[in-house]
Structure 1
């Protein structure tokens, strides 16, 4: 495998990057008109908010195929421009209380739960509860909360976030205040399923979760959509859920234990899972609906190594119709989120095709159902058209800010891989700087469409528009971001505006263009940094592949 050679040649990285710098010096010829047209069209009322499974999806898919073809791309899925994404929607109802010993916990106010399994009824009966701390199995960090315990048929009771989330800085076994993937609820459910647990219940706490119980209750009741990856969800737990902190306190009291003491114990490296000596039971009904959406894929084949790929991702979907604003407008047009990123795919594809293909192939992937939980990206990552071991790296574009030029970019996932070196070269050419993630505790790197590829080992950029505006500085940038969040984000007022200042968006597209050219014209395979949670996954993927890394 070429991976061994890459590791041995690590000291030559700086030399390789200096050679790549040549590709950042050629100006990017990205058409503002093309980008504006794509944002204007995709966010028009005619597209009805681009909800998957609606006429808005049909119009979106047709437009993107037309634009990709006109840009000079080839169909990315054999002879097809699309990849079918089977989705399943499961709606729970008729919830019995969650019974723990003498405790009868009320659904909604005390706990919430759903099933990822496509079965008419979920029954959890007398399942022994085991407190597994933060529910983390991280061999590269010498940490395993499940060590020595057989979870088959049992219920894992889990703390949210990482073991060192209370730190004031970014130092600690899990990055201190910065959340790693191990702190995300998605990981905790996945790991519990891998351990054979019958159920996984996360203890909610406002600060550790970075949101209140109201967010949990609203998000985990009603229809839940998932990518239908086959097997009717049989590889998942029977139930995944959350419990209020005070309800969890009562559960521990039922077992003769103190929640606060157990939280303190779970933060220590020598923590061992603790059976509580009580069981959990509940029952609820599930109504299942299946439907099909689509990812749109175009490719610009590489001139020298067409079987090595640089991936670009952006989600085309939005929320469809939503709560009306004061004018009665109920279409969530999603102009910034994420017609902007989808339009960037079109503009970048056109520019790269006009410049001529780099050595490696460039893939442009517009994914569906991001707003429902990264479902299109998850399906692609589980069923990749282009093998992930042959995917060198990628660039994700989600909600490109349209507020003018900036002196910086916001880097989410910085310090994790050798992609940082490529970014440093490209930013120097632009005269911009990299600003760290302003809210590392929120774990934003694990919450956009690049992440399904990341957790399978592919290094990906998630570089957002900066807040230090050339005109007005950080104060103006923060005010603009706050205004968008308060007045437009996920609402009907995220609409196209003919008076927008496009200079910052085009500045970001220029950056993405040069990152892709640099990665596309080198023979290097950027690696995750030593000790990163995704390094072992990448190495396993590479070791099993005949081609690629």
Structure 2
């Protein structure tokens, strides 16, 4: 789920702080942590073996809910057992994840008054309601600015409005996205969760809207209409819910910016003027005096995949949990690449066989070190590539209560390259976990550097996010491109090569020639971060004003023990 990869973006971990620092001078020795003698050695040979096996051709690219899934699960369970884990789901290794696939078809044009707009070229739409047909008929259009309701910021684009029966027209990103710095109410150029399209559709549903249409604009979206079109014209996946998603909008969609301009012009409004007004606190929604109609059929397929869950029980506080996660799934069979018609398997060696291998290595290291005070839970997640669904299901149906989950570490797409001089963080200054991160870097003679492209919202695009949005602080730190050998030129070259030639392609295969030193460095850091939480008494929270702070505060206030004991 990482459509644009820099070196830093090919390994993901969960929330942190963004404290700028300069890279070490070239030639500076990289120190081990002060307590390196207490840390077990990283089992690199184990990581090689696990990555090689999970990305082998006979695992067929690890597509969920296919005939190959049981073989993949059996292998992961065997590795978890060998590493010293116990079954983590009430004596069982698996957590079933029921999902639904909905594919739209027979789309009608989107009609507003006398105007008619074509599916694909002008608009796209889908539904998360499990019904054979989605139909929006004569629904009143309301321009709701950025579609944000953020009580902690005193901001509500839906203020005073009953959205029942109405369709929300919503701007992409958040109000201060054009600012160069990060000083605005919504952190300026750095995207917040309120800027993500997922949030906008969720909030429209909470407001009772019949439908929601986001206005696509390439710069604030950070991708072109081609990306929207390809993502929204095929199957859409979601976790099965008891109510079949009937609490969602009838339809969610996108319209091209010129389409939105034409609709607003017909309403006697100007998109540019309304956009400027929507960037000011106190903006009120604007009814457009127009009605929209469109619809489509749904083909529905239900299936079940599985998360794999193991645990190392804690000693003195076993009901308090530190979570480690990595997704096991990949794309399965895919289009051949590079003139090799026989190779139509997306093996996913980097994405994310080596993340599962790193998590297995961490399990082994923690087992060798002996039990921690808190329990440590290791989850190999499914359906990340289908929209973070394995982690979404775990977050909505946690095996270990979220108000008893201290925090966690997520591993996703660790690039095989050299050790780095510095690390970076996605998401900015979000949680108190960042204090542990900076301390761990300092002990290694490493520094923290600024995140590349914070406007892309990378923090919200990997499995840690499913826990974060429910209040659980998650580490999200990444090796920077400044390698100890070769500097930024070597790091950027390695990242670009992976992005251009291997990402989501058959060429993402294991090689005996991989450089594992950087991945080993990651695992050393991950071990420190997780073990410090597991042996400590800290209950980290989000920074004041963060979009997830109120969720954690509410959960902790209602908790029995857990984070209520801090």
Per the TM alignment, residue 340 of structure 1 is displaced from its structure 2 partner at its CA by: 1.0
TM-score under structure 1 normalisation? 0.95
Alignment of 1:87-106 (within 5 A): 87-106=99-118
Q: Distance in 2 between matches of 1:361 and 1:428?
A: 27
Q: 1:461 aligns with which of 475, 478, 481?
A: 475
Report whether the alignment pairs 1:332 with 2:346: yes
Q: Which residue of 2 aligns with 1:70?
A: 82
Q: Distance in 2 between matches of 1:24 and 1:384?
A: 34
Q: Distance in 1 between matches of 2:292 and 2:493?
A: 48
Per the TM alignment, residue 230 of structure 1 is displaced from its structure 2 partner at its CA by: 2.3
SS state at 2:562 partner: coil
Root mean square deviation, CA, Å: 1.1
Q: Which residue of 1 aligns with 2:57?
A: 45
Larger relative contact order (CA 8 Å, sep ≥ 6): 2
Q: Distance in 2 between matches of 1:107 and 1:334?
A: 33
Per the TM alignment, residue 253 of structure 1 is displaced from its structure 2 partner at its CA by: 0.8
Q: Which residue of 2 aligns with 1:379?
A: 393
Per the TM alignment, residue 363 of structure 1 is displaced from its structure 2 partner at its CA by: 0.7
SS state at 2:297 partner: strand
Q: Which residue of 2 aligns with 1:231?
A: 243
Asked whether the 8 Å contact 2:136–2:295 carries over to 1, the reply is yes
Q: Distance in 2 between matches of 1:539 and 1:127?
A: 38
Given the superposition, is the C-alpha separation of residues 27 and 250 from structure 1 closer, same or farther in structure 2, using an over 3 Å criterion? same
Q: Distance in 2 between matches of 1:171 and 1:23?
A: 37
Q: Which residue of 2 aligns with 1:184?
A: 196
Q: Which residue of 2 aligns with 1:289?
A: 301
Stretch moving more, 457-466 or 209-218: 457-466
Q: Distance in 2 between matches of 1:434 and 1:292?
A: 41
Q: Deviations over 1:32-61 (max 9, x none)?
A: 111111000001101100000113322211
Asked whether the 8 Å contact 1:341–1:397 carries over to 2, the reply is yes
Q: Distance in 2 between matches of 1:285 and 1:406?
A: 51
Q: 1:280 aligns with which of 278, 292, 304?
A: 292
Q: Deviations over 1:203-234 (max 9, x none)?
A: 00001100000110110012111111321001
Q: 2:222 aligns with which of 198, 210, 224?
A: 210
Q: Any stretches of 5+ residues in structure 1 without a counterpart?
A: 1-20
Q: Distance in 2 between matches of 1:151 and 1:23?
A: 57
Q: Which residue of 2 aligns with 1:9?
A: none
Per the TM alignment, residue 414 of structure 1 is displaced from its structure 2 partner at its CA by: 3.3
Alignment of 1:188-267 (within 5 A): 188-267=200-279
SS state at 1:233 partner: coil
TM-score under structure 2 normalisation? 0.92
Report whether the alignment pairs 1:350 with 2:368: no
Q: Distance in 1 between matches of 2:92 and 2:277?
A: 54
Stretch moving more, 94-103 or 505-514: 94-103
Asked whether the 8 Å contact 1:28–1:513 carries over to 2, the reply is no
Q: Deviations over 1:474-528 (max 9, x none)?
A: 1110111011100000001110010111011001000000111111111110111
Q: Which residue of 1 aligns with 2:433?
A: 419
Asked whether the 8 Å contact 2:34–2:443 carries over to 1, the reply is no
Asked whether the 8 Å contact 1:314–1:398 carries over to 2, the reply is yes
Asked whether the 8 Å contact 1:23–1:517 carries over to 2, the reply is no
Q: Which residue of 1 aligns with 2:172?
A: 160
Aligned residues: 529
Q: Distance in 1 between matches of 2:91 and 2:192?
A: 39
Asked whether the 8 Å contact 1:229–1:379 carries over to 2, the reply is no
Q: Deviations over 1:267-315 (max 9, x none)?
A: 1112110000001111211110000000010010011100000001111
Q: 1:495 aligns with which of 509, 518, 521?
A: 509
Report whether the alignment pairs 1:268 with 2:280: yes
Q: Distance in 2 between matches of 1:401 and 1:461?
A: 18
Given the superposition, is the C-alpha separation of residues 243 and 310 from structure 1 closer, same or farther in structure 2, using an over 3 Å criterion? same
Q: Which residue of 2 aligns with 1:17?
A: none
Q: Distance in 1 between matches of 2:268 and 2:322?
A: 55
Q: Any stretches of 5+ residues in structure 2 without a counterpart?
A: 1-32
Q: Deviations over 1:69-128 (max 9, x none)?
A: 111111110111010000100011111111111111111100000010000111111111
Per the TM alignment, residue 25 of structure 1 is displaced from its structure 2 partner at its CA by: 6.2
Q: Distance in 2 between matches of 1:153 and 1:230?
A: 23
Q: Distance in 2 between matches of 1:47 and 1:433?
A: 39
Q: Distance in 2 between matches of 1:315 and 1:307?
A: 24
SS state at 1:288 partner: strand
Report whether the alignment pairs 1:443 with 2:468: no
Asked whether the 8 Å contact 1:413–1:461 carries over to 2, the reply is no
Q: Which residue of 2 aligns with 1:506?
A: 520
Asked whether the 8 Å contact 1:414–1:420 carries over to 2, the reply is no
Asked whether the 8 Å contact 2:100–2:240 carries over to 1, the reply is yes
Asked whether the 8 Å contact 1:127–1:154 carries over to 2, the reply is yes
SS state at 1:428 partner: helix
Q: Distance in 2 between matches of 1:312 and 1:46?
A: 27
